[in-house]
Amino acid sequence: MPAALDELIRKAGVVGAGGAGFPTHVKVQAKVDTVLVNGASCEPLLASDIVLMEHEAASMLHGLVRVLDHTGAARGIVCVKGKHRGAVAELRRAVAVDDRLTFFELGDFYPAGDEHVLVNEVLGRTVPEAGLPLQVGVLVANVESLCNIDRAAAGLPVTHRFLTVAGEVRTPLVLRVPVGTPVGDIIALAGGATVRAFRIIDGGPMMGRVLADSDQPVTKTTSGILVLPDDHNVVRAKVMDPEKLRRFTQTVCCQCTMCTDLCPRYLLGHSLHPHKLMRGFGTQLLTGEIAREALLCSECGICEKYACPMLLSPREINAQIKQELRAKGIRWQPGNAPMQLRALRQERKIPTSRLLERLGLAAYHSHPAYDTREVRPSRVILRLQQHIGAPAVPVVARGEIVTTGDLIGDIPGQALGARIHASIDGRVTSVTETAITIESTNRGLPCP
Ligand code: SF4
Ligand code: SF4
């Protein structure tokens, strides 16, 4: 009897490629009525999902059909912004292969790809506060994850990742690279940085994080490498010292409520009022009831990068409060009152073009070309934790020769986790508690 899809996905190490890396074999065990393909490609400047939908639509839809069959869902809806004319044309044609598949054209706003926003936009359903789409019968799947499911069904593990290289690089592009490739190699493939002093962001300008250096590796969740001048506002906001931010908040917040008025989760009817959190935080009179609201924050960054006239960061303050609450084991307790969409929600959606202007990123290329070169780094560093759950446990030792696709890290026992596979042919040169390094044996074909 052939293995069940969730077992094939587990063996292949598939995780959510667009978010925090939730193990996909667990997600597909749910029973739902609808699967939404999240093709919103929400983060400004990131385009790898669009490129995948233009070039790998058949693989993505094979993955989607397998998920429909496995979860019992009656329909799969591919959701893409109408502005991506190439992907829209390709997908409108492609969904005709199965009458369970349809297409939904999204507006061009941020954050259209937030799961709560997407489910409401497409189906009119409201995901509970701090809840999951599964609670309203919906599984939201990332484009690349579906391609990886298609490959997993054929016995192929996750070894590569599509990503965008954007910002201050000579040739912005979309590439398919081995997981674990150092980001410095990838920037070199894009012709190198065009400014002397720069910082590298793993992900997009809104939710990405600044990397310590160019030796950091690509992971299964790296959707983009963004190179920006080190004095760019986007970088400054991300590297601000948390203590300095606390002091600023205490003295500068004018309680204008703009952060709440434009918060996408507040506009969906959630009990999240970032201005109240900021007031409580600033006056050091934060009550438990208000503090708990931070647990509802998606960290989308609208309040920090678009709404606040004083350049404060409710997002960062919420992240700090969330961390403290979670450390104490405090969870969100839903109320009894039904959630209601706020008035003016439609009018308060943030157009991506205006967001790009506000971020100071409008001059950068937002849909770079797909570069089909085969990327062969001389070395990969494979983190043992590239996903939500327990880190993988190494199953190789230093000195071993491995081939692309070999299992090198396994899920510990019955824990939530994901397997890790060799992404190049080579020799294992280091095994630590956090990562496995492989040096290539394909001498003469390194990255530039
Ligand atoms: S937008 Fe800024 S200044 Fe206004 S209430 Fe929010 S944090 Fe305070
Ligand atoms: S980051 Fe700000 S705007 Fe986004 S959900 Fe959190 S509080 Fe709302």
Decide if 166 contacts 365 (C-beta within 8 A): yes
The stretch 13-35 carries a mean pLDDT of: 93
Nearest CA owner, ligand 2 atom 4 = 300
Residue-wise pLDDT for 133-150, tens only, equals 999 999 999 999 999 999
DSSP helix/strand/coil, 105? strand
Q: How far is the CA of 114 from the centre of ligand 1 (A)?
A: 22
Q: Which one of the ligands is nearest to 274 CA?
A: 2
Please give the full DSSP string across 158-202, using - where no structure is assigned: --EEEEEEEESBSS-EEEEEETT-BHHHHHHHTT-BSSSSEEEEE
> In terms of Cα–Cα distance, which of 328, 430, 341 is closest to 384?
430
Using CA atoms, how far apart are residues 278 and 280, in angstroms rounded to an integer? 5
Decide if 119 contacts 79 (C-beta within 8 A): no
Check residue 221 and give its pLDDT: 96
Q: Which of 64-78, 104-118, 245-259 has the lowest mean pLDDT?
A: 245-259
Using CA atoms, how far apart are residues 28 and 64, in angstroms rounded to an integer? 11
pTM for this predicted structure: 0.94
Using CA atoms, how far apart are residues 99 and 79, in angstroms rounded to an integer? 16
Query: Greater confidence, 389 or 288?
Result: 389
pLDDT of 200 over the 80 cut: yes
pLDDT of 444 over the 60 cut: no
pLDDT of 446 over the 60 cut: no
Check residue 146 and give its pLDDT: 97
Residue-wise pLDDT for 343-362, tens only, equals 999 999 999 999 999 999 99
What pLDDT band is residue 279 in, cutting at 50, 70 and 90? confident
Nearest CA owner, ligand 1 atom 2 = 308
What pLDDT band is residue 20 in, cutting at 50, 70 and 90? confident
What pLDDT band is residue 334 in, cutting at 50, 70 and 90? confident
Decide if 78 contacts 147 (C-beta within 8 A): no
pLDDT of 445 over the 50 cut: no
Query: Greater confidence, 62 or 17?
Result: 62
pLDDT of 90 over the 70 cut: yes
The yes or no reply on domain 5-153 and CATH 3.40.640.10 is no
pLDDT of 283 over the 90 cut: no
- At a CB cut-off of 8 Å and minimum separation 6, what does 399 contact? 427, 428
Query: Greater confidence, 16 or 448?
Result: 16
What pLDDT band is residue 405 in, cutting at 50, 70 and 90? very high
Residue range 376-448, CATH number: 2.40.50
Pocket probe mutation, ligand 2, options 297, 316, 358, max atoms within 8 Å of Cβ: 297
pLDDT of 182 over the 90 cut: yes
Percentage of the chain beyond pLDDT 90 is 78
Residue-wise pLDDT for 214-243, tens only, equals 999 999 999 999 999 999 999 998 888 877
Q: How far is the CA of 305 from the centre of ligand 1 (A)?
A: 12
Q: How far is the CA of 256 from the centre of ligand 1 (A)?
A: 5
- Within 6 Å (CB) of ligand 1, which residues are found? 253-259, 275, 278, 307-308, 310, 312, 314
- At a CB cut-off of 8 Å and minimum separation 6, what does 165 contact? 172, 173, 174, 175, 186, 187, 189, 190, 224, 225, 227, 368
Q: How far is the CA of 277 from the centre of ligand 1 (A)?
A: 10
Q: How far is the CA of 250 from the centre of ligand 1 (A)?
A: 11
Q: Which one of the ligands is nearest to 263 CA?
A: 2
Nearest-atom index, ligand 2, CA of 307: 3
User: For the chain, which residues make up each domain, given as ranges?
Assistant: 5-153, 239-359, 376-448
- Both tokens of 383, joined, read 């983190």
Using CA atoms, how far apart are residues 78 and 60, in angstroms rounded to an integer? 10
Q: How far is the CA of 339 from the centre of ligand 1 (A)?
A: 24
Q: Which of 115-124, 367-376, 418-427 has the lowest mean pLDDT?
A: 367-376
pLDDT of 83 over the 80 cut: yes
Pocket probe mutation, ligand 2, options 267, 298, 316, 342, max atoms within 8 Å of Cβ: 298
